Amino acid sequence: MTEQKATNVTWHDGEITIDDRSGLLGQRGATLWFTGLSGSGKSTVAVALEKALFERGKLSYRLDGDNIRLGINKNLGFSADDRSENIRRIGEIAKLFVDSGMIVLSSFISPYRADRDQVRALHLESGFAFIEVFVDCALSEAERRDPKGLYKKARAGEIKNFTGIDDPYEEPASAEIHLHTDEMSLEDEVAEIINYLEEHGFIL
């Protein structure tokens, strides 16, 4: 856990609650945390889900790995410590979005189980929903897809600490949603998530 360096700071609540915002939006805020290997389809399904939710009149926002690293986390690399701090910051950002009543679609490799568990704990401590989505894809298929050419570079030794090649990926022990993207169509993946959100009362 990152040390709190600022002193004499206090969280300030307003008069509008998360329940008030959820009632206005007709949805319950939640973070959907898409985790999986590079090339497994995390961003692809998140983009499709965002569109499907929008068409239903539901507000969501995507937090994508590359987008975040171009801004708030541009000072972080890919060491174990930097990866952990990357995920911690994203977790805090996602929590703020959830408090606003939004459905957050967070797409990050997030290879270490402890880091994902920390984000889950951040949410649960505040009474917010955290839904882990395991975007499961065989390494051989993810490497075949290789949309950014990263596996090729990792195999050539041009990228170090690359998840799945020379750095581990720790699979979720009990993800709320488990997608097999090397076996399912994109439409079926989106439908499975929508069904989960409906059944658990996140979209009304």
Three-state DSSP class for 21?
helix
How far, in Å, CA of 199 to CA of 2, rounded?
Answer: 36
Angle between helix 42-55 and 186-199 (nearest 10): 60
Q: Give the neighbor-by-neighbor strand order of the sheet with 177-180.
A: 60-64, 103-107, 30-35, 129-136, 177-180
The neighbour count for residue 40, using CB atoms within 10 Å, is: 28
CB 83 within 8 A of CB 111: yes
d(CA 102, CA 105): 9
Active-site residue flag, 110: yes
Active-site residue among 110, 126, 174, 185? 110
Query: How many Cα atoms within 13 Å fall on the side-chain side of residue 2?
Result: 18
CB 163 within 8 A of CB 112: no
Active site residues: 110
